[in-house]
Structures are given as structure tokens and as C-alpha cells.
Amino acid sequence: MLPTTPTTRLLLIEDEQDMARYLSKGLEEAGYTVTHADQADQALRLALEQQWDIVIVDRMLPREQDGLDIIKAVRLAAVQTPVLVLSALASLDDRVRGLREGGDDYLTKPFALPELLARLEALIRRANPSVQATHDSRQLRLADLTLDLLSRKAERAGQPITLQPREFKLLEYLVRNQGQVVTRKMLLESVWDFHFDPGTNVIDVQVSRLRNKIDKGHSTPLVHTVRGVGYRFGLDG
């Protein structure tokens, strides 16, 4: 799925040439207009002087520069562009630091390209509330599915659906991100706030249980599996 605006300007700050080439290609195929910077000072200038829809920053840059310093400088200049941090530093502390310094999401290398694309899309959507699904603070709606955020109750085509609290949270997340791909990792982080590999395919089983409750007996399925990546929630398959 293409990003929502006709040209989405993306600044890629990555010093590793091979990685940058591969990422640029993948991102351009996904519809982004990519500008690549491989030096910290050049990257900072670009980030501050031009308008971007999203920025990808690698943490380890040449001459021992940390990508986090770029984010800090950008945030100090009151630029609110969403930033996704890429890093080969896998420990949880590094992740926490990355987010604290102003990053909006953190992805550890090596990663799957679809995972990166799904996260970029989610970040852009979050930054542009106008393109989100129409909803007020009390209700979320998609086709004949309604979620009451106050009473934490859901119904489809007038039929109430019995959901456990966490299932409701999962459904709420899917509805809020309708139309875009969400990966298993994103679900684990957003719905359960866990940052480890849970081993067995627990997320798949969770989604399939929810799918049973939502889609069973209805002609139009709302939960769609995106092979090898994750799920998409919405009317179109």
C-alpha cells in the first residue's frame, strides 16, 4: 500500500552504502521520495533546512557520531517530524534511550523490509490525524463494526461481541490502524507492551481467536493476513 500523500519525502540517514542502496530502492518502490545522507553534519543540515514527512536515522554513524545526537538537535529546533531509529544495538536500554531522546520508533538491525514499511506507515499516520479513521472520543467505527471506548464493548451488525479486556485493546489497535499493515512485533509492543520474542506463534493465535469472534458468520472479513509480514484490518483484502 502506498503512503497517503502523493509524494512522501523521506530522509534516510545511513552511512553503510550497501544498506542505504537497498533501503532506498525498497522505500522508493513503496512510493517514498528518498534523500540519502551518509554524514552526520550533512544529515543535520538537511533535517533542519528542509521539510520531511519522516526521517530514518541509523545510530552508528562515521567518526563515532551517534544518530541520537541528530535527533536531539532536531527536537531542540522544535521540528516534530516523526523519526524512526535504526540500530544494531539490540539491548532494551538502548531502545529506551532511543525513544527518550526523541525517536518515535526503534527498529533493531537486521530487520525485514516489510516491518520497516509497516512502522513508517504507522508513524506517518500518527503524525497526520486527518487521514485517520473518523471517530469521536467515545466510539470507533468500521463498516458494521462499532467499538464503544467508554464501556469497552464491541458489536458487529448489531450483534454484541464478547471480548476480554486485552482482546478489546487488540481490536481497538487494529481499528485505529485500519487499512495499514501491522506486524506481529508491532502488536506485541503496542497491545501488550512486551519487547521480547515470545517464542510460539502467540500473536497469530491471538489474532485468529479475535478473527473468529469478529468475522465468523459475516460475509465480509475484516481481519486479513499479509503473508510473511502480519495483518491488515479493514474492508478491502
Residue span binding another protein (CB under 8 A) among the ranges 14-22, 46-54, 105-113, 178-186: 105-113
Residues 128-147: x where in contact with another protein by CB under 8 A, - otherwise, as a string? --------------------
What radius of gyration do the chain's Cα atoms show? 19
Q: Shortest distance, CB of residue 236 to another protein, whole angstroms?
A: 26
Report the residue number, 6 or 110, with the smaller CB distance to another protein.
110
What count of residues does the chain have?
237
The verdict on 92 binding another protein (CB under 8 A) reads yes
The verdict on 200 binding another protein (CB under 8 A) reads yes
The verdict on 90 binding another protein (CB under 8 A) reads yes
The verdict on 208 binding another protein (CB under 8 A) reads yes
Instruction: Find the binding residues for another protein in span 147-166 (CB under 8 A).
Output: 164-166
> Which helix (H) or strand (E) segment is 48 a member of?
helix 40-49
Q: Shortest distance, CB of residue 190 to another protein, whole angstroms?
A: 13
Residues 38-77: x where in contact with another protein by CB under 8 A, - otherwise, as a string? ----------------------------------------
> Could you tell me the CA-to-CA distances from 11 to 3, 51, 81, 149 in Å, in that order?
15, 9, 10, 36
Residue 56's nearest CA partner among 14, 2, 99 is 14
The verdict on 173 binding another protein (CB under 8 A) reads no
> Who contacts 119 (Cβ-Cβ below 8 Å, separation ≥6)?
84, 105, 107, 183, 186
Determine which residue in the list 126, 192, 221, 225 makes contact with another protein, applying CB under 8 A.
192
> Who contacts 92 (Cβ-Cβ below 8 Å, separation ≥6)?
195
> Which helix (H) or strand (E) segment is 84 a member of?
strand 83-87
